[in-house]
């Protein structure tokens, strides 16, 4: 049997490849430490789990959920957006529950992209942006995220003919994989650009609450007129250690929310209502729990950055996410470096080019291991003679 042409255009999914390499090494009896995938290594917050225990025993939660999410969850999400960003949202028209932000991100392309359309996607960036464009029959146009620009795209460098044919722009700050952050002035430029060319601005805020040193990530919906052209994707995965629960929300422009909801109505049947109850409870957990998580990641960040500095890397402290984005040693490709890390230090890190061609020459570190394990990775690198210079 022959698979579809669209599937033939999709490269192997980066994290599936990482899993495969880990399995191969472990099969050989090698003690592998993986700093590859951004999956929190500590439990879901206790109040969320407690709420789930109650919700799962409630027979009213055992039937199909509303397609757009339960009223309780949508209202709780709107209340959280008001409290966090002072953004007013209508829970009936400007809020949509999703099965984790990944599925919603993938489906928004089917709601807006036709054959011949372009999308503006960050490079390096989350692979789903590019691949979902291809699935929908569109053409992804890469917006380079360069170190000299603070890993922010330069909208002036986008050719006008491409902008006129573009239907979506994806932005992601705090950023995966670079850890970069954006301010409201940047979002104002993005909103103005998308208004000029009638482009839907999609803001991926998966890491909105994972910030350090007093930094707080802003929302594009805080920009005056932002809701005219923008929607935001939020996930419970990283903020509340809920990666396996698959729950989050999309909010903003009512037309875009409705369009995405129509796609989802025909593809999925929503998130289990008990999970939505637990997710609603997550919005009201004591801030000290979030602060404690961020302090843990900040300690890991400090240990990793200190270790890499000892090995010759020049690192500025990151303000957000649990990722470090670092250049590979001179004279090496990303693939060569991560292969050396696996074979000599038995440490897994993903190559930068797995996130796009502009990621070549870099690698990403996920701070999803404790401080002692991170220090062990640095020790292994020292013993293997792996240095930046």
- Give the model confidence (pLDDT) of 51-87 as tens digits: 999 999 999 999 999 999 999 999 999 999 999 999 9
Phi, psi of 251 (to 5 degrees): -145, 165
Q: Would the pLDDT of 242 be above 80?
A: yes
Give helix 287-310 / helix 371-384 axis angle, nearest 10°: 10
14 pLDDT tier (thresholds 50, 70, 90):
low
What is the share, in percent, of the chain residues with pLDDT greater than 70? 99
The lowest-confidence range among 22-31, 175-184, 326-335 is 22-31
* Residue the block writes with tokens 């250049």: 327
DSSP-based three-state secondary structure for 145: coil
Pick the CATH number of 46-282 from 3.40.50.2300, 3.90.1170.50, 3.40.640.10, 3.30.450.40: 3.40.640.10
15 pLDDT tier (thresholds 50, 70, 90):
low
Which of 111, 159, 356, 371 has the alpha carbon at shortest distance from 257?
Answer: 111
Spell out the domain ranges in the chain: 5-43+287-384, 46-282
Q: How much is the pLDDT for 21?
A: 76
Q: Would the pLDDT of 380 be above 80?
A: yes
Which of 160, 127, 123, 156 has the alpha carbon at shortest distance from 142?
Answer: 123
Give yes or no for a contact between 49 and 43, defined as CB atoms under 8 angstroms apart.
yes
Average pLDDT over residues 281-302: 97
DSSP-assigned states of every residue in 69-91: --HHHHHHHHHHHHHHH-----T
Burial (0-12, 13-18, 19+ Cβ within 10 Å), 374? buried
Give yes or no for a contact between 240 and 280, defined as CB atoms under 8 angstroms apart.
no
| 25 or 56: which leads in pLDDT | 56
Q: How much is the pLDDT for 20?
A: 79
What distances in angstroms separate CA 205 from CA 255, 330, 362, one per listed residue? 20, 33, 23
Count the neighbouring beta carbons within 10 Å of the beta carbon of residue 142: 18
Report pTM.
Answer: 0.94
Distance CA 220, CA 206 (A): 14
CA 163 distance to own-chain centroid = 24
Average pLDDT over residues 323-329: 98
Q: What is the pLDDT of residues 142-200, one digit of tens each?
A: 999 999 999 999 999 999 999 999 999 999 999 999 999 999 999 999 999 999 999 99
* Residue the block writes with tokens 């404690």: 292
Q: How much is the pLDDT for 381?
A: 98
Q: How much is the pLDDT for 45?
A: 96
Of the CA atoms within 13 Å of residue 176, those in its CB half-sphere come to: 23
CA-atom Rg of the chain in angstroms: 21
Q: How much is the pLDDT for 369?
A: 97
Question: What average pLDDT does the structure give for the chain?
Answer: 95
For the domain 5-43+287-384, what is the CATH code?
A: 3.90.1150.10
Q: How much is the pLDDT for 28?
A: 83
């Amino acid at each position: 049997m022959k698979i579809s042409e669209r599937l033939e255009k999709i490269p192997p999914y980066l994290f599936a490849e990482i899993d495969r390499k880990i399995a191969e090494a472990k099969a050989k009896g090698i003690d592998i430490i993986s700093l590859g995938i951004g999956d929190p290594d500590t439990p879901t917050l206790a109040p969320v789990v407690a709420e789930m225990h109650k919700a799962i025993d409630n027979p009213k939660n055992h039937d199909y959920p509303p397609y757009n999410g339960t009223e309780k969850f949508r209202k709780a999400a709107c209340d959280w957006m008001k409290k966090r960003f002072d953004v007013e949202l209508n829970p009936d028209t400007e809020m949509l529950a999703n099965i984790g932000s990944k599925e919603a991100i993938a489906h928004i392309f089917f709601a807006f992209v036709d054959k011949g359309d372009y999308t503006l996607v960050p490079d390096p960036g989350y692979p789903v942006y590019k691949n979902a464009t291809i699935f929908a029959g569109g053409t992804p146009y890469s917006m380079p995220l360069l170190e000299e620009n603070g890993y922010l795209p330069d909208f002036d460098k986008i050719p006008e003919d491409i902008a006129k044919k573009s239907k979506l722009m994806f932005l992601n700050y705090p950023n995966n994989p670079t850890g970069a952050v954006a301010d409201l002035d940047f979002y104002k430029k993005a909103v103005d650009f998308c208004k000029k060319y009638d482009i839907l601005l999609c803001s991926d805020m998966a890491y909105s609450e994972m910030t350090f040193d007093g930094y707080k990530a802003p929302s594009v919906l805080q920009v005056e007129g932002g809701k005219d052209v923008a929607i935001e994707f939020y996930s419970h995965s990283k903020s509340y250690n809920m990666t396996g629960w698959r729950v989050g929300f999309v909010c903003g422009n009512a037309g875009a929310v409705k369009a995405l909801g129509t796609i989802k109505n025909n593809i999925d049947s929503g998130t289990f209502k008990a999970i939505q109850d637990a997710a609603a409870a997550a919005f009201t957990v004591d801030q000290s729990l979030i602060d404690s998580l961020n302090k843990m990641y900040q300690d890991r960040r400090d240990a990793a950055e200190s270790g890499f500095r000892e090995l010759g890397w020049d690192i500025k402290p990151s303000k957000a996410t649990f990722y470090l984005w670092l250049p590979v040693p001179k004279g090496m490709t990303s693939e060569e470096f991560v292969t050396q890390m696996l074979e000599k230090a038995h440490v897994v890190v993903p190559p930068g080019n797995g996130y796009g061609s502009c990621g070549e020459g870099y690698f990403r570190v996920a701070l999803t291991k404790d401080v002692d394990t991170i220090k062990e990775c640095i020790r292994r690198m020292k013993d293997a003679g792996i240095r930046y210079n």
